[in-house]
Amino acid sequence: MSDVKEGAPPPLEAEPEALTEAAATRAELAVAPEIVAGSLGEYLRAWVARIKAGESGVLPVIVGLIVIAVIFQSQNANFLTAGNLVNLLVQGAAITLLGLGEVFALLLGEIDLSIGFVAGVAGVIAAQLVAFPHNWPWWAAVGVAILVTAVIGLVQGTIITRLGLPSFVVTLAGLLGFQGVMLMMVGQGGTVPIASDVINDFANGNMTVGAGWVVTALLILGYAALTWWRDQRRRASGLVAPPASLTLLKIAAVAVAGVALVLICNANRGLLVPIQGVPWVVLIVLGVLAAWSVLLGRTRFGRYVYAIGGNAEATRRSGVNLARIRTAAFILCSLTAGIAGIVYASRLRSVSTNLDGGTLVLYAVAAAVIGGTSLFGGRGKPLHAVLGGIVIAAIANGMGLLGMAAATQLIVTALVLLAAVTIDAVARRGRTPTGMH
Amino acid sequence: MADGSGAGAVDPGALLSLGDIDKNFGPVQALTGVNLDVPAAQVTALLGDNGAGKSVLVKIISGIHAPDGGQIHWEGRAVHFRTPKDATALGINTVFQDLALCDNLDIVQNMFLGRERRQVGLLLDEDDMEKAAAATLASLSVTTVRSIRQPVASLSGGQRQSVAVARAVMWNSKLVIMDEPTAALGVAQTRMVLDLIKRLADKGLAVLVISHNLNDVFEVADRVAVLYLGRLVAQGPAAGFDRQSVVELMTTGASSRVVAASQAAAAGLEG
- Identify the pLDDT of residue A238: 81
- Identify the pLDDT of residue A406: 84
For residues B106 and B229, membership in a common domain is answered with no
Report pLDDT digits (tens) over A172-204. Answer: 999 999 999 999 999 888 899 999 999 999 999
C-alpha atoms less than 13 angstroms from C-alpha of A131 in its C-beta half-sphere: 16
- Identify the pLDDT of residue B109: 94
For residues B133 and B229, membership in a common domain is answered with no
Could you tell me which residue, A72 or A428, shows the higher pLDDT? A72
Yes or no, beta carbons of B154 and A436 under 8 Å apart: no
Yes or no, beta carbons of A31 and B114 under 8 Å apart: no
Q: What are the contacts of A39-46 at 24+ separation with CB within 8 A?
A: A39/A243, A39/A245, A40/A243, A40/A245, A40/A246, A40/A249, A43/A242, A43/A243, A43/A246
Percentage of residues in chain A with pLDDT exceeding 70? 86
Which residues, other chains included, contact B99 with Cβ-Cβ below 8 Å and sequence gap of 6+?
A314, B160, B161, B163, B164
Report chain B residues whose CB lies below 8 A from the CB of A237.
127, 131
Yes or no, beta carbons of A35 and B115 under 8 Å apart: no
Report chain A residues whose CB lies below 8 A from the CB of B157.
433, 435-436
Report chain A residues whose CB lies below 8 A from the CB of B150.
27, 30-32, 35-36
Q: How far apart are CA A156 and CA A121, in angstroms?
A: 15
pLDDT beyond 60 at A31: no
Of B135, B150, B171, which one is at a domain's C-terminal end? B171
- Identify the pLDDT of residue A23: 46
Q: 348-407 in A: which are within 8 Å (CB) of B? A: 378-379
Yes or no, beta carbons of A307 and B145 under 8 Å apart: no
- Residue B163 domain-assigned (yes or no): yes
For residues B54 and B126, membership in a common domain is answered with no
Residue A434: which pLDDT band, with cuts at 50, 70 and 90?
Answer: very low
Report chain B residues whose CB lies below 8 A from the CB of A291.
none
Report chain B residues whose CB lies below 8 A from the CB of A8.
143
Beta bridge partners of A350: A193
- Identify the pLDDT of residue B12: 55
User: How many pairs of residues across A and B have Cβ atoms under 8 Å apart?
Assistant: 176
- Identify the pLDDT of residue B223: 93
In the predicted model, what is the mean pLDDT of residues B141-152? 79
Could you tell me which residue, B153 or B208, shows the higher pLDDT? B208
Yes or no, beta carbons of B127 and A237 under 8 Å apart: yes
For residues B55 and B179, membership in a common domain is answered with yes
- Residue B253 domain-assigned (yes or no): yes
- Identify the pLDDT of residue A53: 56
CATH number of residue B182's parent domain: 3.40.50.300
For residues B109 and B61, membership in a common domain is answered with no
- Identify the pLDDT of residue B271: 34
For residues B132 and B261, membership in a common domain is answered with no
- Residue B10 domain-assigned (yes or no): no
Report pLDDT digits (tens) over B215-268. Answer: 888 899 999 999 999 899 988 898 888 888 888 888 888 877 655 444 444 444
pLDDT beyond 60 at A3: no
A300 close contact with B: CB closer than 8 A: yes
Closest Cα in chain B, distance from residue A336 (Å): 21
Closest residue in chain A to residue B184, using alpha carbons only: A436
Is the dihedral angle over the CA atoms A80, A86, A87, A89 positive or is it negative?
A: positive
Report pLDDT digits (tens) over A270-280. Answer: 888 888 899 99
For residues B141 and B227, membership in a common domain is answered with no
Report pLDDT digits (tens) over B194-217. Answer: 988 998 999 899 999 998 888 888
Q: How far apart are CA A163 and CA A165, in angstroms?
A: 6
For residues B193 and B118, membership in a common domain is answered with no
Of B122, B147, B171, which one is at a domain's C-terminal end? B171
Yes or no, beta carbons of A433 and B102 under 8 Å apart: no
- Residue B144 domain-assigned (yes or no): yes
Q: What kind and span of H or E run contains A263?
A: helix A244-266
- Identify the pLDDT of residue B256: 72
In the predicted model, what is the mean pLDDT of residues B107-135? 90
pLDDT beyond 80 at B151: yes
Host domain of residue B47: 38-67+78-91+174-271
- Identify the pLDDT of residue A172: 96
A165 close contact with B: CB closer than 8 A: no
Yes or no, beta carbons of A299 and B145 under 8 Å apart: no
What DSSP string describes chain B? ---SSSTT---TTSSEEEEEEEEEETTEEEEEEEEEEE-TTSEEEEEE-TTSSHHHHHHHHTTSS--SEEEEEETTEEE--SSHHHHHHHTEEEE-TTTT--TTSBHHHHHTTT---B-SSSBB-HHHHHHHHHHHHHHTT----S-TTSBGGGS-HHHHHHHHHHHHHTTT-SEEEEESTTTT--HHHHHHHHHHHHHHHHTT-EEEEE-S-HHHHHHH-SEEEEEETTEEEEEEEGGG--HHHHHHHHHHS--TTS-HHHHHHHHTT--
In the predicted model, what is the mean pLDDT of residues A198-216? 93
For residues B188 and B261, membership in a common domain is answered with yes
Which residue from A32, A307, A310 is facing B149, i.e. has the nearest CB?
A32
In the predicted model, what is the mean pLDDT of residues B37-60? 90
- Residue B8 domain-assigned (yes or no): no
Residue A375: which pLDDT band, with cuts at 50, 70 and 90?
Answer: confident
Closest Cα in chain B, distance from residue A431 (Å): 7
- Residue B5 domain-assigned (yes or no): no
Yes or no, beta carbons of B154 and A8 under 8 Å apart: no
Residue type, A51: I
Residue type, A230: R
Residue A124: which pLDDT band, with cuts at 50, 70 and 90?
Answer: very high
Yes or no, beta carbons of B131 and A306 under 8 Å apart: no
- Alpha helix locations (H) across A18-163? 21-29, 40-52, 59-75, 82-107, 115-130, 138-162
Report chain B residues whose CB lies below 8 A from the CB of A311.
100-103
Yes or no, beta carbons of A310 and B102 under 8 Å apart: yes
Which residue from A13, A15, A240 is facing B148, i.e. has the nearest CB?
A240
Residue B14: which pLDDT band, with cuts at 50, 70 and 90?
Answer: confident
In the predicted model, what is the mean pLDDT of residues A79-89? 92
Among A311, A373, A429, the strongest candidate for a mutation testing the B interface, having the largest count of B CBs within 10 A, is A311
User: Number of structural domains, chain B?
Assistant: 2
- Identify the pLDDT of residue A42: 73
Closest residue in chain B to residue A29, using alpha carbons only: B154
For residues B258 and B179, membership in a common domain is answered with yes
Which residue from A7, A16, A300 is facing B146, i.e. has the nearest CB?
A7
Cis peptide before A133 (omega within 30 of 0): yes
pLDDT beyond 50 at B10: no
Of B133, B154, B171, which one is at a domain's C-terminal end? B171
Report chain B residues whose CB lies below 8 A from the CB of A309.
104
Yes or no, beta carbons of B155 and A27 under 8 Å apart: yes
Report pLDDT digits (tens) over A312-361. Answer: 988 988 888 999 999 999 999 999 999 999 999 999 999 999 899 999 99
For residues B254 and B190, membership in a common domain is answered with yes
Question: How high is the ipTM of this complex?
Answer: 0.83
Mean pLDDT score of chain A: 86
- Residue B213 domain-assigned (yes or no): yes
For residues B87 and B182, membership in a common domain is answered with yes
Yes or no, beta carbons of B143 and A7 under 8 Å apart: yes
- Residue B28 domain-assigned (yes or no): no
A313 close contact with B: CB closer than 8 A: yes
Yes or no, beta carbons of A4 and B192 under 8 Å apart: no
